[in-house]
Amino acid sequence: MSRQTILDRHPSPATPTPVMPSACATGGCGGAPADARLRPAPPSFGAVAVNGVEIEPEAIALEIQHHPSPDGEAAWRQAARALVVRELFLQEARRLGIEPDPEEDDAGRSETLDDAVIRALLERQIEPNLVGAEECRRYYEGHVHRFRTPELFEASHILIEPDGDDAAAWAAAEAEARAIAAEVGDDPGAFAEAARAFSKCPSAHQEGSLGQVRRGELVAVVQEALEALPEGTAGREPARSRFGWHVLRLQRRIAGHTLPFEMVKDRIADMLEARAWATSAALYTAELAGSAEIEGVVIDPATGGAA
Indicate if 109 and 189 belong to the same structural domain: no
Q: Give the residue ranges of the chain where pLDDT is below 70.
A: 1-45, 301-307
Is 3 contained in some domain?
Answer: no
Q: Shortest CA distance to 86 belongs to which of 53, 109, 61?
A: 53
Indicate if 40 and 120 belong to the same structural domain: yes
Is 264 contained in some domain?
Answer: no
Pairwise CA distance, residues 237 & 241, whole Å: 13
Indicate if 180 and 107 belong to the same structural domain: no
We report the CATH number of the domain holding residue 191 as: 3.10.50.40
Q: Over the stretch 15-27, which tens digit does the pLDDT of each residue have?
A: 343 333 333 333 3
Is 183 contained in some domain?
Answer: yes
- The pLDDT value recorded for residue 70 is 86
Q: Nearest 5°: CA angle at 256, between 218 and 195?
A: 35
The DSSP secondary structure of 90-109, one letter per residue, reads: HHHHHHHTPPP---B-TTSP
Indicate if 159 and 243 belong to the same structural domain: yes
Domain housing 208: 152-254
The domain total for the chain is 2
CB–CB of 217/5 below 8 Å?
no
Indicate if 184 and 244 belong to the same structural domain: yes
- The pLDDT value recorded for residue 268 is 96
- The pLDDT value recorded for residue 78 is 92
Indicate if 110 and 68 belong to the same structural domain: yes
Global pTM value = 0.58
Cα radius of gyration rounded to whole Å, the chain: 29
Pairwise CA distance, residues 302 & 286, whole Å: 7
Is 54 contained in some domain?
Answer: yes
- The pLDDT value recorded for residue 25 is 36
- The pLDDT value recorded for residue 305 is 54
We report the CATH number of the domain holding residue 112 as: 1.10.4030.10
- The pLDDT value recorded for residue 10 is 35
- The pLDDT value recorded for residue 44 is 57
CB–CB of 234/226 below 8 Å?
no
Q: Is 154 helix (H, G, I), strand (E, B) or coil?
A: strand
- The pLDDT value recorded for residue 72 is 85
In sequence order, the 6+-apart residues with CB closer than 8 A to the CB of 138 are: none
